[in-house]
């Protein structure tokens, strides 16, 4: 399927619309029908909302070339901030309790969707500090059930210096690298933690946003790698992801140290930046690296830190924040990557759709 473009739905139609209850009150979204000289035709772009009955299909742990049943295009599902410590009182064999440690429930969403090609994990896969034994006892029995199709990123807890329960911490990501290196089909970019890969017609870039351990400044090894990687890619659509978001909803200004990486991604026309770290969901408008709304060339950020550890919220008081979930639900984002556009659904663990929409690539 992935080698055949002819069977894929071509992006067509008027400017996409999003319809969901989570967008800002009174907000209506539209985009220019001409983006960097590429004009969409006059047919409508349909965004399918898959009901829970469709999502709850057969288990898809070995579907190396799975596809969206409606378009034939690749599907990813993703979240970050996932597995609580097996020593936590609310662990409950991985099932958690009513309010936390919901990593079994979020992983069940991915297991139940037979259309998923890859699962993305946006860091902080294992709390409190990425200890290998804790990974085996908690992450492995939940999200590890589809380890072979997982493409993860490193979080700060993979480098964590302390464990609240007194167990040793590797402090260097070694538990994470050891766990994933045990499966020969999983490449996590060791020992640097940054790497790239292609899915269908999309280029996928994993940034290590732990800049203390993998410097992000201009001229650093990671910067030079990203610069060369993007220059070598000839895909129209690019999705980047990491643990730390560039924008967090608290301030209109960017946060963290990944600015040089964002500038490279913006200059090369990347569409998406997905992250976790904040234990909540938010969708942002397409933005410049400094946070100015740019519907033509901007990068759209999603924060999906809803993988299971605990839940919080992000304010939508800033105009750059287009959608949030005030109900603070756990869940995963499902994306269909069309040749020149993408669809998204944010799915709660009860199968309800928190947010959905569609947008063209640059």
Q: Is the pLDDT of residue 58 over 70?
A: no
Average pLDDT of the segment spanning 51-69: 50
Average pLDDT of the segment spanning 25-53: 31
Pairing of strands 341-348, 321-324: unpaired
Query: Which phi and psi angles does 13 have, rounded to 5°?
Result: 110, -175
Q: Which residues contact 316 (CB under 8 A, 6 or more apart)?
A: 24, 249, 282, 322, 323, 324
Predicted TM-score of the model (pTM): 0.83
Q: Give the residue extent of every domain in the chain.
A: 72-360
Confidence at residue 21, expressed as pLDDT on a 0 to 100 scale: 33
Q: Is the pLDDT of residue 45 over 90?
A: no
Confidence at residue 43, expressed as pLDDT on a 0 to 100 scale: 26
Angle (CA) 336-340-345 rounded to 5° is 25
Confidence at residue 9, expressed as pLDDT on a 0 to 100 scale: 28
pLDDT single digits (tens) 274-304: 999 999 999 999 999 999 999 999 999 999 9
Q: Which of 14, 8, 18, 5 lies closest to 353, judged by CA?
A: 18
Which class for 186: exposed (0-12), middle (13-18), buried (19 or more C-beta within 10 A)?
Answer: middle
pLDDT single digits (tens) 212-232: 999 999 999 999 999 999 999
Q: Is the pLDDT of residue 13 over 80?
A: no
pLDDT single digits (tens) 154-206: 999 999 988 999 998 999 999 999 999 999 889 899 999 999 999 999 999 99
pLDDT single digits (tens) 18-33: 333 333 222 233 332 2
Q: Which of 332, 324, 278, 348 lies closest to 24, judged by CA?
A: 324
| C-beta of residue 282 within 8 angstroms of C-beta of residue 249 | yes
What share of the chain has pLDDT > 90, as a percent? 78
In Å, what is the CA distance from 189 to each residue of 78, 85, 178? 18, 25, 12
* CATH number for the segment(s) 72-360: 3.60.21.10
Alpha helices in 15-79 (DSSP H): 52-55
Q: What is the mean pLDDT of the chain?
A: 85
Confidence of residue 65 (pLDDT cuts 50, 70, 90): low
């Amino acid at each position: 399927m992935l080698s055949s473009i002819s069977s894929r739905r071509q992006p067509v139609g008027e400017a996409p619309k999003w319809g969901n209850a989570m967008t800002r009150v009174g907000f209506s979204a539209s985009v220019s029908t001409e983006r960097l000289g590429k004009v969409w035709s006059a047919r409508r772009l349909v965004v399918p909302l898959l009901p829970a009955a469709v999502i709850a299909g057969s288990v898809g742990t070995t579907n190396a070339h799975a596809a969206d049943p409606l378009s034939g295009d690749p599907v990813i599902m993703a979240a970050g901030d996932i597995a609580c410590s097996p020593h936590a009182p609310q662990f409950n064999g991985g099932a958690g309790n009513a309010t936390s440690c919901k990593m079994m429930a979020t992983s069940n969403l991915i297991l139940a969707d037979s259309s998923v090609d890859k699962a993305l994990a946006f860091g902080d896969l294992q709390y409190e500090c990425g200890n290998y034994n804790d990974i085996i006892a908690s992450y492995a029995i939940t999200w590890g059930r589809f380890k072979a199709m997982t493409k993860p990123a490193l979080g700060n807890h993979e480098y964590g210096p302390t464990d609240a329960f007194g167990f040793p911490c590797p402090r260097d990501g070694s538990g994470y690298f050891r766990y994933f290196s045990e499966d020969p089909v999983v490449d996590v970019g060791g020992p640097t933690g940054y790497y790239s890969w292609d899915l269908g017609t999309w280029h996928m870039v994993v940034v290590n946003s732990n800049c203390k351990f993998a410097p992000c400044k201009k001229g650093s090894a990671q910067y030079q790698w990203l610069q060369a990687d993007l220059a070598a890619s000839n895909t129209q659509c690019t999705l980047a992801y990491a643990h730390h978001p560039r924008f967090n909803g608290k301030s209109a200004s960017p946060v963290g140290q990944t600015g040089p990486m964002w500038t490279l991604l913006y200059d090369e026309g990347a569409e998406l930046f997905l992250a976790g770290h904040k234990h909540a969901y938010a969708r942002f408008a397409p933005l410049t690296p400094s946070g100015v709304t740019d519907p033509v060339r901007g990068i759209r950020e999603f924060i999906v830190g809803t993988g299971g550890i605990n839940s919080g919220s992000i304010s939508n008081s800033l105009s750059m924040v287009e959608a949030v979930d005030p109900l603070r639900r756990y869940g995963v984002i499902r994306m269909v990557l069309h040749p020149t556009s993408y669809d998204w659904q944010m799915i709660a663990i009860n199968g309800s759709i928190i947010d959905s929409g569609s947008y063209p690539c640059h």
